[in-house]
Amino acid sequence: MLKQFMSASLTASLIALISFAPLNAQTLTTKELQKAEKIKSKVAGLGSGPKVRVIVRLLGDESIKGYVSSIGEESFVVERSESVGPREIFYAQVKEIRKKPSTGFRIAEFGAAAGTVLGLFYLSGFLLSKCSPCIGP
């Protein structure tokens, strides 16, 4: 009985050691505090609600897409999707936050690029038509 109990407690403690990540209990430096304040003001400037879609890049190069549902003193909550659920993000964890480009902006971006390419083709065709050595005898 004692062997079974010791085996079970050892297994449980090993699982606990593997599954829980270590917590950093260090204080933030002034530079990190300034960056956190900058991120906090940017989040407040973007606002919250489902109409304001954001992309949040964390310090571990993880990217989170969604909208800010609530803003607090130390953190904010990003709603990702109904299946994934909300995630609380501390300001000190954020590397960058930006507004996700809208579909209209993407279409305008593509239209501008296509217009530039067509314009360059037209210009090169016009210049080649005026160049007699390029055309041949």
For the chain, the domains span 27-100, 102-131
Question: Quick one: pLDDT at residue 129?
Answer: 78
The rounded distance, in Å, linking the Cα atoms of 49 and 65 is 13
User: How far, in Å, are 48, 78, 121, 134 from residue 130 at the CA level?
Assistant: 57, 59, 15, 9
Structural Rg of the chain based on CA atoms: 27
Is residue 24 predicted with pLDDT exceeding 60?
A: no
**To the nearest whole percent, how much of the chain has pLDDT over 90?**
6
Answer yes or no: pTM beyond 0.75. no
DSSP string over 27-47: PPPHHHHHHHHHHHHHHHHH-
Domain 27-100, CATH: 2.30.30.100
**Span 91-112, average pLDDT:** 83
**Span 24-30, average pLDDT:** 66
pLDDT band at 28 (very low <50, low <70, confident <90, very high): low
